[in-house]
Structures are given as C-alpha cells and as structure tokens.
Amino acid sequence: MSERRVVVTGLGALCCLGEGMDLVWRRLLKGDIGYGLITKFDTEGYSSKVAGEVKDFDVGKYLGPKESKKTDTFIQYAIASAQMAMDDAGLTGESVNSERFGVNIGSGIGGINEICEQQVVLNEKGPKRVSPFFIPNAIANLASGHVSMRFNAKGPNSSVCTACATGTHAIGDAYEYIKRGIADVMIAGGAEASVMPLAVAGFCSMRALSCRNDEPQRASRPFDLGRDGFVISEGSACVILEEESQARKRGARIYCELLGYGMSGDAFHLSHPAPEGEGAARAMRSALERARLNPDRIQYINAHGTSTPLNDKYESIAIRNVFGPHIDSVVINSTKSMVGHLLGAAGALELAVVARSIADNRIHGTMNYDEPDPDCLLKDVAANESRDLKIQFAISNSFGFGGTNACLAAGRYSG
C-alpha cells in the first residue's frame, strides 16, 4: 500500500487584519499593521497597552442569537474560521464521509473571558447563579466540539493545548491522523480570545509584552535590535487537510502538500527557550527528516519570530545550526510583525500564510525590521516589504511556554 499523502485545500482566518484569508493575505503583502492601542478595556496601570484586537466581528454571520449567547468568544472565532476554511475548500458536512471526517482545533488559554465573568457571578450572586454553560465555555476542547457538531464530523474529535505551539501541533496531529489512515479530512487550527484584562495583566507581570506604547504600530519588531516583547493578539485560523487522492478526485484546489511534522521538548524552563535553541533545532530536524528533505532544499522559513529578546536570538541560533551555510540562501519572515502573537492560534495562521506563499510564489515582509540584531545571525528576513519567491519547500516554526516546540514542513504539490 502506497504512503498516504496530505494536502491543504482550504484556509480560514480571523485576526486584527480582518476576516477571511484573502483579505488577511492582501493586507500582509501590503505591509499593513493590524495591532494598535487596546480599546476593549481601560489600560490605566498596565505596562503594555498594545494588542491585536479583532474588530467589527459579526457573530450573527455564523451563529444565531441563542447560540452566540451560549458560546465563549474563542469558540465563536473557531467556528468562524472553520466555516471560512470549509467554504474555501468547497466542502460541506454532507459532502464528506462523516466517520472519516475529524476536527482538531486547539487553544492556549481557552474560555478565559467566561471564567472571569462567572467568577464575578459567583462572588456577587452565589453558586446557584453560575451559568450551566460555564464549563462548556471554559474548556479548550469545546471549539472542536462545536465545529464537529456543526459539520457532522464523527471522526477524530480532539484538541491541543500547548501554549504558543498549539496551532502547529493541532495541524501536525491532524496530518498524522490522515497519514495513518484514521481520517480522510480534518479541520485543524487554533483559536484564542485573550485580549482581556486578566490575560494582559498576567503577561505584563511576566514582562513578556512590548511596552512601546508611544509607537504602538512599531511594537512588534522580530529580530530587530530594538525589540522589547511581543504584542498579544486574538483570533483564529483553520485549515482543511485532505488525503491527496480524495482531494484530487473531487477536483479540489490544492494550496500545498504537508510533508513532515516535528516536535520536541526543552525540559529546561517555564518560559525561557533552551540555550542555543537546542529544542527548537531538534523539532526542525525532525520535521525535515520525516519529510525526507535535506536542509539545503528549503527556500523559506516562517519563523516563530515573537519579537522577544531571547526567543528571536535562540530561534536564530537554532536555524543557523540546522541549516548551516545554506541559511544565507533562505528567506525568513515573521507574520507576527503585522498581526502580533495570536498565542494558541498563531501557528495555524502562520501555516495558512505558508500555504498561500507556496501557492502564490510570494512572501510578505517582516515589518519594523530597521536595525538587525547581530546576535540573530540571519542574512535575509525580508525586511519591510513583500517579494516574489519561487518556493518549492518551506517550514513553519512554533515554540511555546513549558518548552514545547513544533515544526511543519510543506511543499509545492506535485501530482
């Protein structure tokens, strides 16, 4: 039996740059910055006042009034991006064998808005007034649960919670389900709705966020010498993965083929990456090995590129260690320079960006890259402008708190 191949046939995105992957992609190529000063709550007393907010989201396009009242914002975002991805792929729940159709949508934090709201209800009105929907809104796997019910997906129904690597792990795991014959079609991605007081305060206390409040649209500056932290953002992204022969048989548009998935653990620190990016390097090597690709075959890397001092430095060292001298011929960019850091949804959005880059032979720039950090040792980070690039193979990196690392290798589809 020949090895099963996995292709990407649908993309859905919702973030501070807008709704829908076509719009997000156009704005990325233009170099638009989506984040700015926080408007959702009063930031008096917060050291960081910058975030990538989803604005003008009309939940009524995706859910009725009763449903929307019973779902946390991160679930609503997940449903929206999943619907967009299904529409983009030309699929409906009825067009897929339900028992071979699965969902894996993760979240780094889950329903934190619901948790905070119901804590207030408990304190002020007592336990009997806590909503019966509190638990289903708070737990991270209910994004997958709602999406599976919406599309009658009766195959694998799972969820990932691995901090900032969540979206990449969710897509990687879904890829494995199809590769191993457990499913034929998967909706996979991540969702996050953490631009809210408690989450922002927590990241501020960790000193993880940029404090460039006087120049909010210059706050995220991956690999730049002046970087001082990441920009917290919200939203969701989903991709449709299909077994290749099935996608080809139905005449699907194929953005790219997923070729390999690597993961590793640092076993080092709660939030700091391992020295020299040792764990990140192992994840990249694993993805390349499983894709049967030598490093010198890669043309493009979508970096984790958070704009934090240690992450960018050690990711750069890890990339240099994996790719050696060839890295000077590889173009690197960071989507977070324009959308900020979507936490559990970041890796999913970035894989969607890689898929469009491969399909369109074009990459977006890394904005706010004004003064290269000599510690980062990267020659070409697509400084501040998009460009044409013929891409045969690419990788996408994601690394999370707790020392969890993930990498996906993708390539141009060849039937």
Query: Which is catalytic among the residues 16, 161, 238, 341?
Result: 341
Looking at the DSSP bridge assignments, the partners of residue 300 are: 331, 394
Q: How far apart are CA 256 and CA 137, in angstroms?
A: 34
Q: Is the backbone of residue 219 left (phi > 0), alpha (psi -120 to 50) or beta?
A: alpha
Catalytic annotation present for 16: no
Side chain identity, residue 43: T
Please state which CATH number belongs to domain 6-249.
3.40.47.10
Catalytic annotation present for 164: yes
Angle between helices 278-291 and 309-323 (to 10 degrees): 40
Do 6-249 and 260-411 share a fold?
A: yes
Maximum CA extent, the chain: 64
User: HSE-up of 309 (CA within 13 Å, CB side)?
Assistant: 5
Query: Which is catalytic among the residues 15, 161, 164, 407?
Result: 164
Q: Which residue's structure tokens are 């989507």? A: 335
What sign has the CA pseudo-torsion 194, 173, 171, 102? negative
Catalytic annotation present for 364: no
**What string of pLDDT tens digits covers the 415 residues of the chain?**
468 999 999 999 999 999 999 999 999 999 999 999 999 999 999 999 999 999 999 999 999 999 999 999 999 999 999 999 999 999 999 999 999 999 999 999 999 999 999 999 999 999 999 999 999 999 999 999 999 999 999 999 999 999 999 999 999 999 999 999 999 999 999 999 999 999 999 999 999 999 999 999 999 999 999 999 999 999 999 999 999 999 999 999 999 999 999 999 999 999 889 989 999 999 999 999 999 999 999 999 999 999 999 999 999 999 999 999 999 999 999 999 999 999 999 999 999 999 999 999 999 999 999 999 999 989 999 999 999 999 999 999 999 999 999 999 999 999 8
Question: Which pair of tokens denotes residue 382?
Answer: 């697509």
Q: How far apart are CA 187 and CA 171, in angstroms?
A: 8
Query: Domain 260-411 sits in which CATH superfamily?
Result: Thiolase/Chalcone synthase (3.40.47.10)
What per-residue string of b and e applies to 75-109 under the rule 16 or more CB within 10 Å gives b? bbbbbbbbbbbbebbebeeeebeeebbbbbbbbbb
What per-residue string of b and e applies to 284-323 under the rule 16 or more CB within 10 Å gives b? bbbbbebbebebeebbbbbbbbbbbeebbbbbbbbbbbbb
What local confidence, expressed as pLDDT, does residue 2 receive? 67
pLDDT digits (tens, 9 = 90+) for 261-298: 999 999 999 988 998 999 999 999 999 999 999 999 99
Q: Is the backbone of residue 240 left (phi > 0), alpha (psi -120 to 50) or beta?
A: beta
What local confidence, expressed as pLDDT, does residue 3 receive? 82
Q: How far apart are CA 255 and CA 358, in angstroms?
A: 7
**Is residue 237 within 8 Å of residue 348, measured between CB atoms?**
yes
What local confidence, expressed as pLDDT, does residue 189 receive? 98
Please tell me what DSSP assigns to residue 328: G
HEC string of 248-302 equals HHCCCCCCEEEEEEEEEECCCCCCCCCHHHHHHHHHHHHHHHHHCCCHHHCCEEE
203 closest CA partner among 171, 231, 166: 231
What local confidence, expressed as pLDDT, does residue 191 receive? 98
Query: Which is catalytic among the residues 146, 169, 304, 364?
Result: 304
Domain spans, the chain:
6-249, 260-411
What local confidence, expressed as pLDDT, does residue 301 receive? 98
